[in-house]
Copies of this chain bind each other. A is one copy, B any other.
Amino acid sequence: MALIAQKYGGTSVGNPDRIKSVAARVAGHRAKGDQIVVVVSAMSGVTDSLIKIAKEIMPLPSEREMDMLLATGEQTTIALTAMALHAIDVPAVSLTGAQAGIVTDGVHTKAKIRNITPKEVHKLLDAGNVVIVAGFQGQTPEGVITTLGRGGSDLTAIALAAALKADLCQIYTDVDGVYTADPRLVPSARKLPEISYDEMLELAGLGAKVMQSRSVEFAKKFGVIFEVRSSLNDNPGTLVKEETAHMESVVIRGVSLDKNQAKITLAHVPDKPGVAARIFKAIGDSAINVDMIVQTASHGTSGATDISFTLDKPDVLKARHVLDKIKGEVGFKEIIADEQIGKLSIVGVGMRSHTGVAAKMFEALAQAGVNIHMISTSEIKISVVIDLAQGEPATKAVHAAFLD
């Protein structure tokens, strides 16, 4: 008898029929003799309409009250999911995050899980129930309701799996698993049977929208093996787990294209100590997330350099505003923003033991006529910034070089 934690996202529980499908799937697992804990999100659309009605009342509502409001979304789903299981004669009990023993800090709308005391969950499981837990929410030690922010339900499932010492954690979503590349871009893309936490983390940070980094980090920290799979079919998904020796035999695990980045170049920045710090402190203070940073060598004898960095496209205006304010003080000449870029990355723990990976990637791009604007590397990742228009052929070329 195994203990399985399953998480179903908002689309998987988006209407009564889908909730019934989830119940049928859970019942199937239970029929094999396993104990099941189910974590559910709010039905798709519910959170957005709650936010809309809140903003009708106040444009910038209190975060404590937003948590109070949004927590009702998952509470609705747990009750309906329990009912759907009852309807097919499966004993099931729903628990809010607080009732499931999920204790968080008090940072409303993006609380961190401090600890989980799953006493009640264990008790209900031992009594033969499927336990349905509201994702995305918890409470402070003082009993104030909090929410965990984006990707919070994944986090609930993984943290519960860790606290319960579950044998398996399944993240059901609307994709089949993790692919070597986006199948819509690269027809030859393959689903990966397994991937390491680190590779998954790099992919999560690169626009592969399967999961938020924080959930993967949590899983890595507590050694929770989880499977990303589809709630629409019975195909096996992708197992995310600690790196194994044979994972290194594959040079790269996947190719990812992020179309949501922009590039800002500051031209003729004085080449003296403290300048980069001043620039990126101002950017950071405005909560703008910077990804790649490249500084070119000085322009001959001018003592000036160019600094380029990438950021999320929606932040470009805000960044311009911040940079305009420090332009005189820092002494650079021009701010050039380019939103027509794509960030193409390859990820794989195999890079550590294989040489010439970067060269092979650049060669594939050159042969496809793709010009590279920026390069950034980490131990298990190489990212390049290219023209957005070349994103698709570039992705195909790199996939062909390593993965076809």
Which B residues are in CB contact (< 8 Å) with A20? Answer: 57
Contact of A76 among B16, B69, B87, B96 (CB under 8 A): B69
Query: How far is it, in angstroms, between the C-alpha of A299 and the C-alpha of B209 when the chains are bound?
Result: 85
Stretch in contact with the other chain, from A59-67, A166-174, A303-311, A392-400: A59-67
Copies of the chain in the assembly: 2
Task: Say whether, besides A79-B65, A79-B66, A94-B65, A58 and B72 are in contact (CB < 8 Å).
Answer: no
Q: Report the separation of the CA atoms of residues A290 and B144 in the bound assembly, to the nearest whole angstrom.
A: 45
Q: Is A75 interfacial (CB 8 A cutoff)?
A: yes
Q: Are A83 and B64 in contact (CB under 8 A)?
A: no
Looking at A48-56, A151-159, A240-248, A331-339, the stretch in contact with chain B turns out to be: A48-56
Cα A19 to Cα B54 in complex, Å, equals: 11
Q: Are B79 and A69 in contact (CB under 8 A)?
A: yes
Scoring A19, A68, A71, A80 by chain B CB atoms within 10 A of each residue's CB, the highest score goes to A68
Distance to closest chain B CB from A381 (angstroms)? 42
A82 at the interface (CB under 8 A from B): yes
Contacts of A144 in B (CB 8 A): 99
Segment 89-104 of A: residues with Cβ below 8 Å from B: 93-94, 96, 99
Does A27 sit at the interface, judged by CB under 8 A? no
Which residue of chain B lies nearest to A62 when distances are taken between CB atoms in the complex?
Answer: B86
What residues of B have a CB within 8 angstroms of the CB of A16 in the complex?
A: 53, 56-57
Contact for A57 among B56, B61, B78, B87, CB less than 8 A: B87
A interface residues, tally (CB under 8 Å): 36
Closest residue of B by beta carbon distance from A82? B65
Q: Does A143 contact B (CB under 8 A)?
A: yes
- Contact check, A75 vs B72: say whether CB atoms are below 8 A apart: yes
Overall SS of chain A's interface: helix
Say whether B58 contacts A84, CB under 8 Å: yes
Given known pairs A64-B93, A94-B65, A143-B99, the reply for A54 and B83 (CB within 8 Å) is: yes
A77–chain B nearest beta-carbon distance, Å = 10
Query: In the bound complex, what is the Cα–Cα distance between A83 and B80 (angstroms)?
Result: 28
Q: B61 touching A83 by the CB < 8 A rule?
A: yes
A20, closest chain B residue (CB): B57
- On chain B, the residues within 8 Å of A71 by CB distance are 75
Contact between chains at A87 and B58 (CB < 8 Å): yes
Which B-chain residue is minimally distant from A95 (CB atoms)? B68
Cβ-closest chain B residue relative to A134: B68
Report yes or no: A68 in contact with B58, Cβ–Cβ below 8 A.
Answer: no
Give A258 Cβ to nearest chain B Cβ, in Å.
Answer: 35
**Minimum distance in angstroms from A218 CB to a CB of chain B:** 26
A66 partner residues in chain B, CB cutoff 8 A: 79
Identify A54's interface contact among B57, B79, B120, CB under 8 A.
Answer: B79
Chain B residues with CB under 8 A of A83: 54, 57-58, 61-62, 65, 69
A76 to B51, CA, bound (A): 11
Q: Tell whether, in the assembled complex, residue B61 and residue A68 are in contact, meaning their CB atoms are under 8 Å apart.
A: no
**Beta-carbon contact of A68 and B94 below 8 Å:** yes
Interfacial chain B residues near A96, Cβ < 8 Å: 68, 145
Say whether B69 contacts A57, CB under 8 Å. Answer: no
Establish whether residues A82 and B62, one from each chain, have CB atoms under 8 Å apart when the complex forms: yes
Chain B residues within an 8 Å CB radius of A72: 72, 75-76, 79
What are 28 A-B contacts defined by CB distance under 8 Å?
A16-B53, A50-B76, A54-B80, A57-B83, A57-B87, A58-B83, A58-B84, A58-B87, A61-B83, A61-B86, A62-B82, A62-B86, A64-B93, A65-B80, A65-B94, A66-B79, A68-B79, A68-B82, A68-B94, A69-B79, A69-B80, A71-B75, A72-B75, A72-B76, A72-B79, A96-B145, A99-B144, A120-B143
Could you list 4 further interchain pairs (A-B, Cβ under 8 angstroms) beyond the known A69-B80, A72-B72? Answer: A20-B57, A68-B96, A69-B79, A120-B143
| 10 cross-chain pairs, A with B, having the tightest CB-CB distances, nearest first | A69-B79, A72-B72, A68-B79, A58-B87, A16-B56, A65-B79, A61-B83, A58-B83, A65-B82, A57-B83
